[in-house]
């Protein structure tokens, strides 16, 4: 029993501000899901599930990711509440939004 308690203590996150990581899939020329809601401190990872070509994640007037070829990914941590719309640099019709609450 004592051993079990130690195991649980190790497994449970001690920090209440435990941060999450959320994935946005890039597939068939779309960001899926197009809108993600996260908490301040969380990270979003974009990953390309395409078979060819590349995409970027471009927050206008801010950062643009490196080109993501098939199976590549890029991530950004969001520390400040707000709405962060973005597009794909080479395909402006590909749009998405991160809402940080």
Q: Where on the chain is the footprint of Cu ion (CB under 5 A)?
A: 55, 88, 91, 94
- Closest approach of Cβ 94 to Cu ion, in Å? 5
- Closest approach of Cβ 89 to Cu ion, in Å? 7
Nearer to Cu ion, 39 or 91 (CB): 91
Nearer to Cu ion, 26 or 38 (CB): 26
> CA-to-CA distance for 71 and 57, rounded, in angstroms?
15
- Closest approach of Cβ 37 to Cu ion, in Å? 22
Nearer to Cu ion, 33 or 82 (CB): 33
């Amino acid at each position: 029993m004592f051993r079990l308690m130690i195991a649980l203590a190790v497994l449970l996150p001690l920090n209440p501000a435990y941060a999450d990581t959320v994935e946005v899939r890039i597939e068939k020329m779309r960001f899926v899901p197009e809108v993600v809601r996260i908490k301040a401190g969380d990270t979003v990872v974009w990953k390309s599930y395409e078979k060819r070509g590349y995409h970027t994640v471009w927050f206008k007037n801010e950062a643009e990711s490196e080109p993501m070829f098939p199976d590549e990914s890029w991530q950004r941590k969001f520390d400040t509440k707000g709405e962060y719309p973005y597009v794909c640099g080479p395909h402006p019709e590909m749009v998405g939004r991160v809402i940080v609450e």
